[in-house]
Amino acid sequence: MSKYAVTLRALHSDDVAFIEKLYATSRAAEMSHSGWPAEQVASFLSQQFQAQHAYYQTHYSDAEFLIIEHEGEAIGRLYQFWGPSVAKLIDIALLPEYQGQGIGTALIEAMLQRADRQGLLVELFVETYNPAQRLYGRLGFQAINESGVYVRMHRQPRDASRKAS
């Protein structure tokens, strides 16, 4: 369990600078191998963030776009979509200093419990090189297919009566 108590709140327009910074931190290791000057990396990541943000807002207009907070300070984001038969974990990201503390695991487990109560399949996409794949596997997700740099994974709903046994 995490040593950090977190709360979730809706994403606001004044959070865009934070989520852009968060996006850049999530790509820092990858970009460190680019050989590009810092200004070029910053420009590239800004463009990539804008494209991703616009994509999410357009393709998941009914999603929950949430900011993860600890003691009133934004530390991450959780984007999830709840459909009639499928829930999608669109994105989860935490600032580096909050990673590996169990926060993400606890939030995903809460999502899975909600999905189980509603009888929903949960689906996500993860980069082929992302170590979070191990976590998703431990949580019951299975790879369905690969497309480019992404692995599509899903988890069947768990029957609440089976969990008790």
Q: Tell whether 95 is covered by a domain.
A: yes
* 156: nearest Cα among 85, 71, 79, 76: 85
Total domains, the chain: 1
* Predicted confidence (pLDDT) per residue in 84-126, tens digit: 999 999 999 999 999 999 999 999 999 999 999 999 999 999 9
Model confidence at 2: pLDDT above 70: no
Q: Tell whether 2 is covered by a domain.
A: no
Q: Tell whether 1 is covered by a domain.
A: no
Report how many helices (DSSP H) and strands (DSSP E) the chain contains, helices first. 6, 7
Q: Tell whether 54 is covered by a domain.
A: yes
- CA distance linking residue 1 with residue 91, whole number of Å: 21
pLDDT value at residue 79:
98
Q: Tell whether 34 is covered by a domain.
A: yes
CATH number of the domain that residue 41 is part of: 3.40.630.30
pLDDT value at residue 160:
56
**Total-model pTM:** 0.89
Domain of residue 110 covers 7-163
- CA distance linking residue 133 with residue 88, whole number of Å: 15
Give the helix/strand (H/E) hosting 39. helix 38-59
Q: Tell whether 26 is covered by a domain.
A: yes
**What is the average per-residue pLDDT within 31-44?**
91
